[in-house]
Amino acid sequence: MISSLPPKKVTVKYMNKPRFQDSVVIVTGAGTGIGRATALAFALEGAKVVLAELSPDLCSTVAHEIRVANGFAISIPTDVSNPNSVQSMIETVKLEFGRVDVLVNNAGVFPRIAWDDLTLEAWDKTHGTNLRSMFLCCKAVTPIMKAQDSGVIINLASIVFLLGAHTEMTHYISSKGGVVGFTRSLARELGRHNIRVNAISPGAVQTESEAAVVTPRDEALVMANQCLQTRVQPSDVANAILFFASQDARAITGQNLVVDNGWAMN
């Protein structure tokens, strides 16, 4: 007997394709904090992640985390302030993948040193890691991106450049100001090659490196200055980085996005 009831409606569910499926993404300083969170986030979105991290042990640890989560990662211990080390890393990436879709310049240091105690050596080391490294990595990667007529570069700056109010951080603040200027200028230089360049300025992010220097009083001051009464997490910054790298941001370049729970209000 043929049923007179209408046939059941069949609902077909389509899995969303990961945003960065098979994209090649380099993350510098990927061993801890924002870099680690960013590498993990890209891997979960299908990217082939290159961990360019100074510490071989941290490189291996994060690569293992990604593989356990069924992601893809290769670790290349890299001193991003050294041109030979950077070029070697890029050459390895070219041989392995033949392309670079996203470069995240995250590596950075922020030692607190009073102005009277600030030496030229400390100044150079801070600028070497925070700014020179971005020049070297961008110089090495842009020929690849130009050849493929596409690419995204994301540089990590900081809200301290916007606030300019912290003591014992003149070397750090000036380096991060340089990152913002570098980002804007490079966006102009590379736009005609379909390469987007943006910056992210995190606020006070709850990372391992922060925990080593921040006191309870420091944390209380952070909370007093923020609109939102929670701590910014590395994953919050990673989410902003993935947005800038995605097609959702295809019309955005030369910008500086603040991720600080409403502190600098830029």
For residue range 97-143, what is the model confidence (pLDDT) as tens digits? 999 999 999 999 888 899 999 999 999 999 999 999 999 999 999 99
pLDDT for residue 52 is more than 50: yes
Q: How far apart are CA 107 and CA 12, in angstroms?
A: 44
**Residues labelled catalytic:** 172
pTM for the predicted model, two decimal places: 0.90
Q: How far apart are CA 55 and CA 123, in angstroms?
A: 22
pLDDT at residue 169 in the model: 86
Cβ contact 89:76 at 8 Å: yes
Give which of 17, 55, 15 is closest to 35, Cα–Cα: 55
pLDDT for residue 152 is more than 90: yes
Residue 216: pLDDT band with limits 50, 70, 90: confident
Provide CB contacts within 8 A for 126, sequence distance 6+.
Answer: 109, 110, 111, 171, 172, 175
| Averaged pLDDT, 140-153 | 98
Rg of the chain over CA atoms, in angstroms?
A: 21
At the fourth CATH level, which superfamily is domain 24-259? NAD(P)-binding Rossmann-like Domain (3.40.50.720)
Residue 164: pLDDT band with limits 50, 70, 90: confident
| Averaged pLDDT, 28-47 | 96
pLDDT for residue 61 is more than 80: yes
How far the first Cα of the chain sits from its last, in Å, is 71
Looking at per-residue pLDDT, the higher value among 78 and 11 belongs to 78
What's the mean per-residue pLDDT of the chain? 91
Instruction: Give the phi and the psi of residue 61 in degrees, each rounded to 5.
Output: -65, -45
pLDDT for residue 7 is more than 60: no
